[in-house]
């Protein structure tokens, strides 16, 4: 039996602020499986995309966090998933339950749905197409969520939607290349690492490390809070 943790949370300013998230709930499933999703940002070419694996017992709230970490965004705006005529999120009609397990959505292979993030203005909205690709068996020893593949770094949070990113794409990438060339010329591995990390250059290995750091912290925090609640009850 696998214990799958789903977390509830509220929007925070700046980085994902786990300390402000209220206690979530634990979904226990007798036959857990893994869902494979691919998502990409609309309006950008070459495409920025990720292929990720998450547990079927995870919630849409967790999938939202996976997207935020994948794109290196700050989770400081409202968002919504549009699925089967319902809105799941902190925006829209909120007719769906964000903490419902993904398995309850009854998604079909290759079915698509839309994720929207940042409604500061009508031009700021990021739109991501998400496709449910397959249901797979759980692989023991592999940390979930897990990134299988992807292409290109996520747009900087300072960009105001896809159009703004496309307009500034040359300047953003030219600045990165300039900094990287200077770092490589110095032959200083620490300087090279700083340039890559500060510009959030996409790497599947580094993204999976970010998943482990972010979601391990989430799980540890959740367990501590469960212990605090149980102590209070007792």
pLDDT tens readout for residues 185-220: 988 888 887 777 766 678 899 899 999 999 997 665
Phi, psi of 116 (to 5 degrees): -125, 140
Give me the architecture of the 2-154+202-233 domain, per CATH.
Roll (3.10)
Contact criterion met (CB below 8 Å) for 104 and 96? no
Q: Using alpha carbons only, how large is the chain's radius of gyration in Å?
A: 19
pLDDT value of residue 62:
97
Phi, psi of 6 (to 5 degrees): -120, 135
Q: Give the closest residue to 5 by CA, choosing from 208, 234, 231, 225.
A: 225
Q: How far apart are CA 161 and CA 70, in angstroms?
A: 16
pLDDT tens, residue by residue, 108-151:
999 999 999 999 887 789 999 999 999 999 999 999 999 999 99
Q: How far is CA 138 from the centre of its chain?
A: 20
Q: How far apart are CA 3 and CA 160, in angstroms?
A: 39
What pTM value is reported for the model? 0.76
């Amino acid at each position: 039996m696998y214990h799958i943790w789903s977390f509830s949370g509220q929007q925070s300013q700046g980085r994902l602020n786990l300390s402000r998230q209220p206690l979530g709930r634990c979904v226990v499933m007798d036959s857990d499986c893994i869902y494979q999703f691919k998502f990409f940002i609309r309006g950008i070419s070459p495409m920025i995309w990720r292929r990720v694996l998450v547990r079927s017992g995870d919630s849409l709230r967790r999938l939202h966090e996976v997207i935020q970490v994948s794109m290196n965004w700050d989770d400081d705006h409202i968002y919504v998933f549009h699925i089967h005529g319902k809105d799941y999120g902190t925006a829209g009609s909120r007719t769906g339950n964000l903490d419902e397990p993904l398995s309850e959505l009854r998604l079909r292979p290759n079915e698509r749905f839309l994720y929207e993030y940042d409604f500061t203005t009508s031009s700021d909205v990021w739109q991501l197409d998400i496709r449910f690709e397959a249901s797979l068996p759980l692989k023991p020893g592999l940390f979930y969520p897990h990134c299988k593949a992807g292409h290109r770094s996520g747009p900087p949070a300072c960009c105001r939607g896809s159009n703004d990113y496309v307009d500034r794409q040359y300047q953003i990438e030219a600045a990165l290349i300039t900094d990287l060339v200077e770092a490589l010329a110095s032959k200083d591995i620490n300087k090279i690492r700083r340039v890559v990390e500060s510009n959030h250059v996409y790497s599947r290995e580094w993204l999976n490390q970010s998943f482990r750091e972010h979601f391990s912290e989430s799980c540890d925090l959740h367990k501590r809070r469960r212990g605090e609640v149980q102590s209070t009850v007792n």
